């Protein structure tokens, strides 16, 4: 058959000394796939595909086009790697329309061997590529990919389409952490930490590629909006603001300079309204002044055709393309009358200017450019060393639990506390009680200055205590402690294995921290707003372990609730150093214990004088450790 002949041909190629195979055939079953891969490995041949569009290399002296795309890729400096042939065709077509040539194109298909990681390393060393475009539906080794991408992204922009965002959705899982850690969040963490520009659509990817390929990176997010029609300028300013950019008022001196250049009736507060009477030379000088002034980081120019310009023969677009010298800050055009979504306008100074039909597309592209600049400017950091960590004790506790529970499961409170103690994770004082008298004694011992305690029911598998009404708050005396214990025994009966008694915590900001072990990506640390509304508000950020100081900073500042941590509304800031330590220690625990499937710290109470965890849940499953940098082959 055809499929049998694919493996036969591969075997014959290997015997003849062929070093690499490109297999476009699709539909191989497991046996046929094993035969093909076996022949490749047996003879040391690299394999692209199967089920792919092909590959192309435009380098002088090679000029190979082994694809069945309708158009041949033109020579250039963009490297393209895709898993989907359809996406590959769309990217090649889009790049051709922009006039961006291709250094090499590889359709990875089912990715039996050659991967996105291989292509990143090739582009890093080929001496031709300065822009990398990826479409990856799966990762054989996310950690190795991240390590390579971090390095390559420092030398060239690496862009991707984030495919499969809604496939996993919100996983049906027991803990808050697992519910938060969707596949989308995991992939976003990978891309963010690796410095990869992740877009949602092919169009958005091409928008960002056009800007990154043609203009310098902005130093920040401040944008000057210039238009020859007030309404268009307002829409462009709205698009910038909604995308997360800043459209600041210009200072008086700069405004006076601009007004001296522009026609009567112009305004220069930002947006700058040049009026329809603006001439080509006036607009050119205005844009040049803004791009060379330190007040803004980028200039967005929105232009519409007017009868005035038509009557005078002025070509306002030419004011952007006829700059006498390259400008130090990015300049983008928004041309609502333009037919194409994005174009690259050839400029005289051997550069191009990106022009977008929609201001929202331009603003998103500028956000991607600013994000890349911020990532490049951030100091390269390593994972900090931690004191008071007992890894051997933690591994022993995990092994002991799994020996007693080979199928895995949730740890009991005492084992959980011992494991957290191995990493010096701060915990509120607590006591375990199996009957009413022990609960009363624990309450008397632990009661704080206000003499109030909390009682929490426990049984294996209980996670959401509030939903089960398995918690009593503010117990003030022995009678109330006894009544609370009897209530739990009455309602939960033999399923109840005991209760946890804690002092009532002081007031503070309730946060949430956790980790979930992803089968492909490894441990993911999640942080955000805590308490009973954690899942309802879904205010989270996530990063893949191990965490650097930069990763921890991003976790603390990314959620919407972050102002609460740094002194919102005149309230004192919480103990940021304590939160940083908590996240680092959680990351270390996840890295040390591959058996740790989920850890849920909710709530974590943060205040000016410290951080403490009020409730911890940990689930272990049997799992063999593996090298996180070793690719998982078929």
Task: Lowest mean pLDDT of 181-185, 299-303, 529-533, 547-551, name the range.
Answer: 181-185
Whether 223-360 and 52-214 are alike in CATH topology: the answer is yes
Say if residue 625's pLDDT is above 90.
no
User: 111: pLDDT confidence band, cut at 50, 70 and 90?
Assistant: very high
Mean pLDDT of 464-468: 85
Q: Which pLDDT tens digit goes with each residue over 204-241? A: 999 999 999 999 999 999 999 999 999 999 999 999 99
Task: Render pLDDT for 487-506 as a digit per residue (tens, 0 to 9).
Answer: 999 999 999 999 999 999 98
pLDDT of residue 176: 45
Give pLDDT, residue 166: 55
The pLDDT score that the predictor gives to residue 298 is 98
Place of tokens 């210009």: 250
CA torsion sign for 393, 394, 397, 398 is: negative
79: its two tokens: 């490297």
User: Taking 60 as the threshold, does the pLDDT of residue 633 lie above it?
Assistant: no
Choose among 204, 215, 206: nearest CA to 97: 206
Task: Summarize the confidence of residues 288-316 as an average pLDDT.
Answer: 94
Mean pLDDT over 241-266 rounds to 97
Domain parsing of the chain, residue ranges: 1-47, 52-214, 223-360
Give the pLDDT of residue 173.
Answer: 37
- Between CA 517 and CA 545 the distance in angstroms is 10
Distance of alpha carbon 614 from the chain centroid: 29
Task: Please check whether the domain covering 223-360 is classified as CATH 3.40.50.300.
Answer: no
Closest alpha carbon to 515 in 578, 592, 456, 459: 592
* pLDDT, position 448: 77
Cβ within 8 Å of residue 46, ≥6 positions away: 19, 20, 21, 40, 113, 114
Element (H, E) at 141: none
Q: Supply the pLDDT for residue 3.
A: 54
Q: Is 339 exposed, middle or buried (0-12, 13-18, 19+ CB in 10 A)?
A: exposed
Indicate the pLDDT class of residue 103, thresholds 50, 70 and 90.
very high
Report the alpha-carbon distance of residue 616 to residue 604 in Å, rounded: 9
pLDDT of residue 138: 80
Entry pTM: 0.87
Mean pLDDT value across the chain: 92
Q: Which CATH class is domain 52-214?
A: alpha beta
Query: Regarding predicted confidence, which is higher, 170 or 403?
Result: 403
State the pLDDT at residue 624.
Answer: 61
The maximal CA–CA distance of the chain, rounded, in angstroms, is 95
pLDDT at 626 over 70: no
pLDDT at 108 exceeding the cut of 70: yes
CB atoms within 10 A of CB 121: 14
The 10s digit of each residue's pLDDT in 544-597 is 999 999 999 999 999 999 999 999 888 899 999 999 999 999 999 999 999 999
Low-confidence winner among 53-62, 156-165, 393-402, 490-499 (lowest mean pLDDT): 156-165
Give 264-278 pLDDT, tens digit per residue. Answer: 999 999 999 999 999
User: Is residue 174 classed exposed, middle or buried when 0-12, 13-18 and 19+ CB atoms within 10 A define those classes?
Assistant: middle
- Considering the chain, what percentage of its residues have pLDDT values greater than 70? 94
Residue-level pLDDT at 325 = 81
pLDDT digits (tens, 9 = 90+) for 426-435: 999 999 999 9
pLDDT at 46 over 60: yes
């Amino acid at each position: 058959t055809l499929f049998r002949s694919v493996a036969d041909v591969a075997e014959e190629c290997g015997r003849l000394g062929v070093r690499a195979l490109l297999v476009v055939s699709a539909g191989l079953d497991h046996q046929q796939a094993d035969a093909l891969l076996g022949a490749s490995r047996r003879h040391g041949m690299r394999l692209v595909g199967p089920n792919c569009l092909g590959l192309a290399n435009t380098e002088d002296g090679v000029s190979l086009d082994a694809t069945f795309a309708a158009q041949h890729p033109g020579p250039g400096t963009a490297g393209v790697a895709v898993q989907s042939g359809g996406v590959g065709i769309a990217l090649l077509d889009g790049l051709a329309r922009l006039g961006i040539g291709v250094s090499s194109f590889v359709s990875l298909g089912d990715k039996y061997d050659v991967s996105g990681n291989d292509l990143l390393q090739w582009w890093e060393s080929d001496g031709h590529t300065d822009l990398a475009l990826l479409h990856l539906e799966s990762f054989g080794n996310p950690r190795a990919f991240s390590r390579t991408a971090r390095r390559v992204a420092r030398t060239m922009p690496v862009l991707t389409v984030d495919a499969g965002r809604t496939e996993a959705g919100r996983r049906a899982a027991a803990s808050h952490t697992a519910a938060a850690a969707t596949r989308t969040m995991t992939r976003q963490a990978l891309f963010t930490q690796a410095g990869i520009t992740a877009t949602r659509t092919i169009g958005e990817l091409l928008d960002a590629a056009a800007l990154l390929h043609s203009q310098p990176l902005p130093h920040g997010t401040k944008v000057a909006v210039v238009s020859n029609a007030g309404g268009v300028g307002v829409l462009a300013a709205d698009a910038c603001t909604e995308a997360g950019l800043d459209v600041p008022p210009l200072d008086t001196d700069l405004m006076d300079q601009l007004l001296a250049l522009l026609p009567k009736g112009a305004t220069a507060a930002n947006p700058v309204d040049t009026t329809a009477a603006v001439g080509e030379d006036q607009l050119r000088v205005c844009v040049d002044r803004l791009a060379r002034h330190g007040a803004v980081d980028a200039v967005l120019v929105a232009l519409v055709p007017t009868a005035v310009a038509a009557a005078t023969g002025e070509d306002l677009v030419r004011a952007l393309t006829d700059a006498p010298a390259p400008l130090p800050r990015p300049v983008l055009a928004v041309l609502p009358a333009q037919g194409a979504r994005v174009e690259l306008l050839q400029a005289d100074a051997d550069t191009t200017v990106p022009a977008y039909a929609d201001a929202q597309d331009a603003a998103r592209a500028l956000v991607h450019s600013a994000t890349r600049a911020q990532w490049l400017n951030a100091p390269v950091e390593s994972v900090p060393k931690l004191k008071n960590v007992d890894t051997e004790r933690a591994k022993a506790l995990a092994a002991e639990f799994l020996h007693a529970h080979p199928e895995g499961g949730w740890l009991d409170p005492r084992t959980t506390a011992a494991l957290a103690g191995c990493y010096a994770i701060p915990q509120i004082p607590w006591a375990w009680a199996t009957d009413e008298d022990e609960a009363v004694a624990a309450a008397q011992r632990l009661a704080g200055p206000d003499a109030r305690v909390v009682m929490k029911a426990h049984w294996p598998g209980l996670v959401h205590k509030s939903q089960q009404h398995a918690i009593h708050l503010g117990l003030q005396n022995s009678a109330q402690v006894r009544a609370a214990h009897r209530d739990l025994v009455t309602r939960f009966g033999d399923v109840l294995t005991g209760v946890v008694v804690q002092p009532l915590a002081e007031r503070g900001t309730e946060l949430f921290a956790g980790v979930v072990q992803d089968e492909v990506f490894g441990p993911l640390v999640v942080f955000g707003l805590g308490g009973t509304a954690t899942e309802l508000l879904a205010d989270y950020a996530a990063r893949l372990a191990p965490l650097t100081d930069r990763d921890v900073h991003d976790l603390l500042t990314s959620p919407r609730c972050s102002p609460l941590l740094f002194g919102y509304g005149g309230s004192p800031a919480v103990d940021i150093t304590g939160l940083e330590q908590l996240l680092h220690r959680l990351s270390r625990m996840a890295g040390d214990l591959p058996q740790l499937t989920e850890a849920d710290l909710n709530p974590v109470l943060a205040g000016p004088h410290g951080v403490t965890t009020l409730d911890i849940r940990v689930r272990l499953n049997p799992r063999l450790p593996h090298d996180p940098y070793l690719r998982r082959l078929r």
